[in-house]
Structure 1
Amino acid sequence: MLKPIATATRELVNLDGVWRFAIDSRLPESPWTAQLDTPLEAAVPASYNDLFTDPEIRNHVGWVYYQRPVRVPRGWTDDRVLLRFGAATHAARVYVDDRLIGEHIGGYTPFDVDVTEHVTAGAEFRLTVAVSGDLSNETVPPGKIEVTGAGRRKQVYYHDFYNYAGLARSVWLHSLPQVAIDDIVVTTGHVGTVGSVHYVTHTTGGDEVRVRLRDARGVIVAEGSGREGTLEVQDVTLWKPGAAYLYDLEIELLTGAAVVDTYALPVGVRTVEVRGYEFLINGEPFYFTGFGKHEDTPVRGKGHDNAYLVHDFQLLEWIGANSFRTSHYPYAEEVLEFADRHGIVVIDETAAVGLNMGVVGGLAGKPPFPTFSEQYANDRTQGAHAQHLRELIERDRNHPSVVMWCIANEPASNEDGAREYFEPLVNLARELDPTRPLTYAVVLFATFTNDQIIDLFDVVSLNRYYGWYVAGGDLETAREYLARDLQGWIDRVEKPIMMTEYGADTEPGVHSVWDKVWTEEYQTAFLEAHHEVFDRFPQFVGEQVWNFADFATDNGLHRVDGNKKGIFTRDRKPKSAATSLRRRWRGLDGRKPGTTEH
């Protein structure tokens, strides 16, 4: 699915702003058939939960309604007209005037709704969007809805971040020619100084496809024709971590001699490969430094914000990070585009978090019932997971910054049924994109002795909390546990091993001369203890701290105002550990610790 852009044959109108807003319990039946009877307005893009002071809205279970008038540009008479939603968390129904004209399930991937037959160029229509944040065992991520003794519906979920809902990404009205370029798939490679850009185009008709590749100065470096082909680039400049270089692939669709559609796609020429214990980018060993992140900011919730986007990447550069994981869902397309332009490496993750009943059992890891069962992760869950995986890969496979797919966070890979659940998903991911390695974030309960699916994947990505949830406050024991764990995985599989989560909750401003948990000093000591162990193992290929910044959670007894494992506060102020990480990461310069080779 191509992102809408303005070209010589395409136009778009941004619909962001302030929309009428109401929750279903305060509206009559079929509220989309008239102007919403509500005094409330909500910002788009933004999650709605933190916008209002009313707790009934913040904790609402059910549908909410957004509404605004939209005028179609008068010059679109002969074009197809579509609505594009960057995301609607977690399900959406789209109404034009009185009619339902589109639906989508999945809260973090975009979708288009064709409204051509329902609108008129130059005229106005009433756009109403119903959005539900409800989760069940057949959604991704999963959850359940309980009814309290007072009769109130309550959302329960098994992931440790707040279940923000709403229209968190931009909404667009855009035009397409009747005969159009529908999709483009690009794969790149290089042999010596000669690069290759293989392209496949999908169209809704037309006679001929012409392609041109321009360098960063706008000079044409290769040309071709046909719906599929390979362009050779002499003296290619590779896309590299920390040194991004992008070409522009221009595609024209012709009917007869007339150009009926055009599209331009940024392309970074680079390769990704796993060889033994090494992770290679452009044939060179790569060592990940960075974070698990969240789309999470005050007031906006998961609403995309370009100011935070720029500032967060500035902080990544300041601290010396070269990568991040899109934990625990696909981020806005603008984030990946920014990473493409600035040379930041991305592990791109699905929204499959919470597929683990062992988490409900606490540190004992004993599930109340099997995770992979009709009660919880069943065939319908797997189907939703597959659809989400398909939409993620089809959206992001052309981004050079994306070097690996993470198809789940902390699933119950130690439980029976895990293989039957995940093997078809792995096969699907490899079919959709055979060029990138696959991984999943391995939960603490899944060890090198009992994990049942690691052979299906390319990289071992460990989430471990020795010194926090296990051996809390005891860094000596934490080192022993961690070293034993890493050695066990090395002995079991010949695959690259990295840490995708390790961290300690830290309250800003709490200090102590002793190793006391929750202090800024303990967070620093915790990280340094882990780094000392990482550096013992040449098979270890990366460290991503949990988390980049503090983030909102459904505050239970073990959380005070959210998860505090951030190296930065929620408003992006550095904690003491930030300077320690900066010294380490800026000194590595892409090297594996303990080596002098790049």
Structure 2
Amino acid sequence: MLKPLATATRDLVSLDGLWAFALDTRVGPEPWRSRLETRLEAAVPASYNDLFADQEIHDHVGLVWYQRTVRVPRGWYGERIVLRFDAATHAASVYVNDTLVATHDGGYTPFEADLTEVVAPGAEFRLTVSVDNRLTNVTIPPGKLTVGPDGKERQSYFHDFYNYAGLARSVRLYSTPPTHLTDVTVTTDIDGSTGLVAYRLATSEPAPASVRLVDETGVVVASCEGHAGTLRVEDSVLWRPGAAYLYRLEIEVHDGWQTVDTYELPVGIRTVAVRGDQFLINGEPFYFTGFGKHEDSAVRGKGHDNAYLVHDFRLLDWTGANSFRTSHYPYAEEVLEFADRHGIVVIDETAAVGLNLAVEGGLTGAPPRPTFSPETINSQTQAAHAQHLRELIDRDKNHPSVVMWCVANEPSTNEDGAREYFEPLITLTRELDPTRPVTMTTVIFATAENDRTADLVDVISLNRYYGWYVATGDLAAAEQMLEADLRGWAAKYGKPIMMSEYGADTISGLHSVTATPWTEEFQADFLAMNHRVFDRIPSFVGEHVWNFADFGTGPAIHRVDGNKKGVFTRDRKPKAAAFALRERWRGLRGRKPAPEVLRESELSASLL
């Protein structure tokens, strides 16, 4: 699905702003048929939960309604008219006047409705959207619904971040010509000093097409006719981590001598590969430094905000980070575009978090249920997961910053049924995009001995919290456990290994001269312990701290005002760990640290 652009043949109107807003419990039946009966207004883009000083809205489970009036530009006669939602968390139904024009399941990928036959240029229409935040065992992410004694639905879910909902990303109305480009796929390769840009186009109906590749100075460096081909760029400038270079692919669709549609796509020439136990970008070993992040800020929830986008990326640069993972869902397209332009490497993850009912047992105290079964995570869940993968890869396949797909976060890959669930999904991922490696992050319950899926992925990504959830506060014991764990994976699989999560909750301003959990000193010491171990593992290819910044969570008693594992506070103030990471990472700049050599006696002792 192409991102809407304003070009010589396409127009674009933003529908962001203030929309009428109401809970489904506060409006009558079929509220799309008339003006929404409410005095509330909600910002778009933003999650709705924290906008209002209203407990009922904050805790609401079920449908909410958004509505606004839209006028179609009068110059759009003869054009195709399309309504685009960048996301609606987690399911949506869209009405134009009294007509249902679109439905969508999945809270973090875009969807569209062709309005050409239901609206008229120059005229107004009533746009009404229902957004449903409910999660079940067959949604991605999964959750569980129960009914309380008051007859109201209660939502529980198996991930440790707040279930923000609503229209958290932009809404747009745009036009295209009747004959138009519908898709473009670009892959790149390198032949000596020559860059190879293979492209494939799709159009709404058969029509000639041409492309040209333009460098950053505006010079055309290659061109081609037809819907598919390969452009050769002599002495090409590569897209590199920390040194982004983007060409511009200019696409034209023709009708005889006339150009009927135009579109532009940034292109970064680079290669990504796994060879042995190394992760390679442009044929050179790459070492990930960075974070798991969240789309999370006060008041906005998961609402996209360009000011936070710029500031967060500057903080990434300040720490020396070269990468991040889109934990635990696809981020707004603007985030990936910014990463493309600034040379930040991205591991792109689906919203498949919580496929692990052992975690549910730990959070609720209830006996754990089997994760994979007809009553829990089942074939319907798998089908929803597959659709999430299709939509993620369709949206993000052309971003040079995206170097790896993450199929899921912390699933129960140690349980019966895990391989049957994940093998078809990993196969699908490779079919959709054979050019990028595939990974999943591995929960601590899954070890090198009992994991059922590690042979299926290219990179072993581990989430480990030795010294926090295990051996709490005992960093000496934690160091021994962590090293034994990592060496077990390295010995069995011989693949690149990275730490996709490691961290400790920390209260900003809490200090101690002794190793006391929750203090800033303990967080810095915890990270340093992990780094000592990482530097002793030859096949180690990266470290992503959990988390970039503190973030909002649900009302569980083990969280006070959210998850505090950020090295920055929720309003982006640095903790002591941020300075420690800056000292380490700014010296690495994408290179693996020199292995720390231990004497045989020390190595034996460390593994006891």
The TM-score normalised by the length of structure 1 is 0.99
Q: Say if 2:535 and 2:595, in contact at 8 Å, map to a contact too.
A: no
Q: CA deviation at 1:361?
A: 2.8
Find the aligned partners of 2:582 and 2:591 in 1 and give their Cα distance: 15
Q: In structure 2, what is the equivalent of residue 188 of structure 1?
A: 188
Q: Which amino acid aligns with 1:172?
A: R
Find the aligned partners of 1:334 and 1:388 in 2 and give their Cα distance: 19
Q: In structure 1, what is the equivalent of residue 293 of structure 2?
A: 293
Q: What is the correspondence of 1:531-542 to structure 2 with a 5 Å cutoff? A: 531-542=531-542
Q: In structure 2, what is the equivalent of residue 78 of structure 1?
A: 78
Q: CA deviation at 1:144?
A: 1.2
Q: CA deviation at 1:367?
A: 6.2
Q: Say if 2:438 and 2:457, in contact at 8 Å, map to a contact too.
A: yes
Change (3 A) 1:232 1:111: same
Find the aligned partners of 2:568 and 2:363 in 1 and give their Cα distance: 27
Q: CA deviation at 1:148?
A: 1.5
Q: What is the correspondence of 1:12-51 to structure 2 with a 5 Å cutoff? A: 12-51=12-51
Q: In structure 1, what is the equivalent of residue 480 of structure 2?
A: 480
Secondary structure of 2:526's counterpart equals: helix
1:335 aligns with 2:354: no
Find the aligned partners of 2:265 and 2:198 in 1 and give their Cα distance: 13
Q: What is the correspondence of 1:154-233 to structure 2 with a 5 Å cutoff? A: 154-233=154-233
Q: In structure 1, what is the equivalent of residue 268 of structure 2?
A: 268
Find the aligned partners of 2:544 and 2:102 in 1 and give their Cα distance: 39
Q: In structure 2, what is the equivalent of residue 149 of structure 1?
A: 149
Q: Say if 1:48 and 1:164, in contact at 8 Å, map to a contact too.
A: yes
1:498 aligns with 2:533: no
Q: In structure 1, what is the equivalent of residue 523 of structure 2?
A: 523
Q: Say if 1:216 and 1:246, in contact at 8 Å, map to a contact too.
A: yes
Q: Say if 1:467 and 1:475, in contact at 8 Å, map to a contact too.
A: yes
Find the aligned partners of 2:129 and 2:534 in 1 and give their Cα distance: 49
Q: Say if 1:206 and 1:253, in contact at 8 Å, map to a contact too.
A: no
Find the aligned partners of 2:171 and 2:595 in 1 and give their Cα distance: 48
Q: Say if 1:358 and 1:365, in contact at 8 Å, map to a contact too.
A: no
Q: In structure 2, what is the equivalent of residue 572 of structure 1?
A: 572
1:93 aligns with 2:93: yes
Q: Say if 1:190 and 1:196, in contact at 8 Å, map to a contact too.
A: yes
Find the aligned partners of 1:365 and 1:484 in 2 and give their Cα distance: 29
Q: Say if 1:524 and 1:577, in contact at 8 Å, map to a contact too.
A: yes
Q: Say if 2:475 and 2:529, in contact at 8 Å, map to a contact too.
A: yes
Q: In structure 1, what is the equivalent of residue 352 of structure 2?
A: 352
1:112 aligns with 2:112: yes
Secondary structure of 2:261's counterpart equals: strand
Secondary structure of 1:125's counterpart equals: strand
Q: Say if 1:510 and 1:520, in contact at 8 Å, map to a contact too.
A: yes
Q: CA deviation at 1:366?
A: 9.8
Q: CA deviation at 1:239?
A: 0.2
Q: Which amino acid aligns with 1:114?
A: D
Q: What is the correspondence of 1:125-144 to structure 2 with a 5 Å cutoff? A: 125-144=125-144
Secondary structure of 2:580's counterpart equals: helix
Q: Which amino acid aligns with 2:94?
A: V
Q: Structure 2: give runs of 5+ residues left out of the alignment.
A: 597-608
Q: After superposition, what is the alpha-carbon deviation per residue over 1:494-549, rounded to whole angstroms, capped at 9, x for unaligned?
A: 11000000000000111000000000000000000000111011110000000000
Q: Which amino acid aligns with 1:157?
A: Y
Q: CA deviation at 1:363?
A: 9.2
Find the aligned partners of 2:154 and 2:174 in 1 and give their Cα distance: 38
Q: In structure 1, what is the equivalent of residue 603 of structure 2?
A: none
Secondary structure of 1:360's counterpart equals: helix
Q: CA deviation at 1:99?
A: 1.3
Q: After superposition, what is the alpha-carbon deviation per residue over 1:221-278, rounded to whole angstroms, capped at 9, x for unaligned?
A: 0010110000000000000000000000011000111111110000000000000110
1:561 aligns with 2:561: yes
Find the aligned partners of 1:472 and 1:218 in 2 and give their Cα distance: 57
Find the aligned partners of 1:147 and 1:561 in 2 and give their Cα distance: 26
Change (3 A) 1:172 1:311: same
Q: Say if 1:206 and 1:254, in contact at 8 Å, map to a contact too.
A: no
Find the aligned partners of 1:418 and 1:175 in 2 and give their Cα distance: 44
* Residues 117-126 or 367-376, more deviating: 367-376
Change (3 A) 1:346 1:395: same
Find the aligned partners of 2:558 and 2:515 in 1 and give their Cα distance: 20
Q: Which amino acid aligns with 2:64?
A: V
Change (3 A) 1:543 1:509: same
Q: CA deviation at 1:575?
A: 0.3
Find the aligned partners of 2:591 and 2:329 in 1 and give their Cα distance: 29
The TM-score normalised by the length of structure 2 is 0.97
Q: What is the correspondence of 1:304-343 to structure 2 with a 5 Å cutoff? A: 304-343=304-343
Secondary structure of 1:135's counterpart equals: coil
Q: After superposition, what is the alpha-carbon deviation per residue over 1:400-430, rounded to whole angstroms, capped at 9, x for unaligned?
A: 0000000000000000100110111011100
Q: CA deviation at 1:555?
A: 2.3
Find the aligned partners of 1:183 and 1:496 in 2 and give their Cα distance: 34
Find the aligned partners of 2:159 and 2:323 in 1 and give their Cα distance: 23
Q: CA deviation at 1:205?
A: 1.8
Q: CA deviation at 1:362?
A: 2.3
Secondary structure of 2:117's counterpart equals: helix
Q: Which amino acid aligns with 1:282?
A: N
Q: Which amino acid aligns with 1:168?
A: A
Find the aligned partners of 2:589 and 2:85 in 1 and give their Cα distance: 39
* Residues 249-258 or 461-470, more deviating: 249-258
Q: Say if 1:287 and 1:542, in contact at 8 Å, map to a contact too.
A: yes
Change (3 A) 1:298 1:393: same
Find the aligned partners of 2:379 and 2:592 in 1 and give their Cα distance: 42
Q: Say if 1:407 and 1:438, in contact at 8 Å, map to a contact too.
A: yes
1:9 aligns with 2:6: no
Q: In structure 2, what is the equivalent of residue 402 of structure 1?
A: 402
Q: CA deviation at 1:364?
A: 13
Find the aligned partners of 2:366 and 2:494 in 1 and give their Cα distance: 30
Counting matched residue pairs gives: 596
Find the aligned partners of 2:111 and 2:36 in 1 and give their Cα distance: 24
Secondary structure of 1:178's counterpart equals: coil
Find the aligned partners of 1:583 and 1:237 in 2 and give their Cα distance: 30
Q: In structure 2, what is the equivalent of residue 385 of structure 1?
A: 385
Find the aligned partners of 2:102 and 2:145 in 1 and give their Cα distance: 25
Change (3 A) 1:364 1:143: closer
Find the aligned partners of 2:426 and 2:595 in 1 and give their Cα distance: 34
Q: Which amino acid aligns with 1:43?
A: A
Q: In structure 2, what is the equivalent of residue 277 of structure 1?
A: 277
Report percent identity of matched pairs: 67
Q: Say if 2:352 and 2:407, in contact at 8 Å, map to a contact too.
A: yes
Q: In structure 1, what is the equivalent of residue 251 of structure 2?
A: 251
Secondary structure of 1:87's counterpart equals: coil
Q: In structure 1, what is the equivalent of residue 601 of structure 2?
A: none
Find the aligned partners of 1:217 and 1:554 in 2 and give their Cα distance: 49
Change (3 A) 1:315 1:366: same
